[in-house]
Amino acid sequence: MIVYHRIGIVGLGYVGVTLAAALADKGYRVHGVDAQPRVRQALRAGRPHLYEPGVEEVFARHVGRTLLVDEHLPAEVDAVVLCVSTPVDEDTHEPRLENLAEAAAYVARTCRPGTLVVVRSTVPVGTTRRVVLPVLTEAWGADVRLVMAPERTIQGQALRELVELPQVVGGLDDASAEAGQAFLGGLVRQLVPVSSLEAAELVKLANNCHTDLIYSFGNELALIAGRHGLDPLEVIAAANADYPRPDLARPGYVGGGCLSKDPYLMIASAQAEPPFLVGPARRLNEHLPAHVAGEVVELVRQAHGSTRDVKLAVLGWAYKGWPPTDDMRGAPVVAMLGTFRAAGMTVLGHDPMVAAEVIRDLGAEPISLDKAFADADAVLVLTDHPDYRALPVGSLLAGTPVRLVFDSWRILDEAAVRTAGVRYAGIGYRAPDSPARLEREVSA
pLDDT band at 442 (very low <50, low <70, confident <90, very high): very low
Tell me the per-residue pLDDT of 243-283, one tens digit each, with 9 for 90 and over.
998 899 999 999 999 999 999 999 999 988 989 999 999 99
The vertex-281 CA angle with 277 and 286, nearest 5°, equals 155
Please compute the mean of the pLDDT values over residues 39-55 and round it to a whole number. Answer: 95
Q: What pLDDT band is residue 443 in, cutting at 50, 70 and 90?
A: low
Q: What is the per-residue pLDDT across 381-400, written as a single tens digit (0 to 9) for each?
A: 999 999 999 999 999 999 99
In DSSP terms, 377 is beta-bridged to none
Report the pLDDT value the prediction gives residue 3, as an integer from 0 to 100.
77
Q: What is the pLDDT of residue 5?
A: 94
CB 312, CB 348: distance < 8 Å: yes
**Which CATH number is 198-444 given?**
3.40.50.720
Give 266-298 as a DSSP string: HHHHTTTS--SSHHHHHHHHHHHHHHHHHHHHH
Per-residue DSSP letter, 366: E
Is pLDDT at 441 greater than 90 in this prediction?
no
Report, as an integer, the average pLDDT of 225-252: 96
Percent of the chain with pLDDT over 90: 94
Calculate the average pLDDT of the chain.
Answer: 95
Domain residue ranges of the chain, discontinuous segments joined by + = 6-195, 198-444
Answer yes or no: is pLDDT of 437 > 70. Answer: no
- Give the up-direction half-sphere exposure of residue 79: CA atoms within 13 A in the CB hemisphere: 28
This prediction has a pTM of: 0.94
Phi-psi group of 15: left, alpha or beta (phi > 0 → left; psi -120 to 50 → alpha; rest → beta) = alpha
d(C-alpha 348, C-alpha 303), whole Å: 18
170, 178 in Cβ contact below 8 A? no
Mean pLDDT of 24-52: 96
Query: Which amino acid, one-letter code, is at 138?
Result: E
Query: Among 1-15, 67-81, 189-203, 352-366, which is the least confidently predicted range?
Result: 1-15
- Are 50 and 13 in contact by the 8 Å Cβ rule? The answer is yes
Residues in contact with 324: Cβ distance below 8 Å, sequence separation at least 6, in sequence order:
51, 156, 318, 352, 353, 385, 386
Over residues 35-52, the mean pLDDT reads: 95
Contact 133, 145 (CB under 8 A): no
Confidence of residue 104 (pLDDT cuts 50, 70, 90): very high
Q: What is the CATH number of domain 6-195?
A: 3.40.50.720
User: For residue 380, what is the enclosing H or E element?
Assistant: strand 378-381
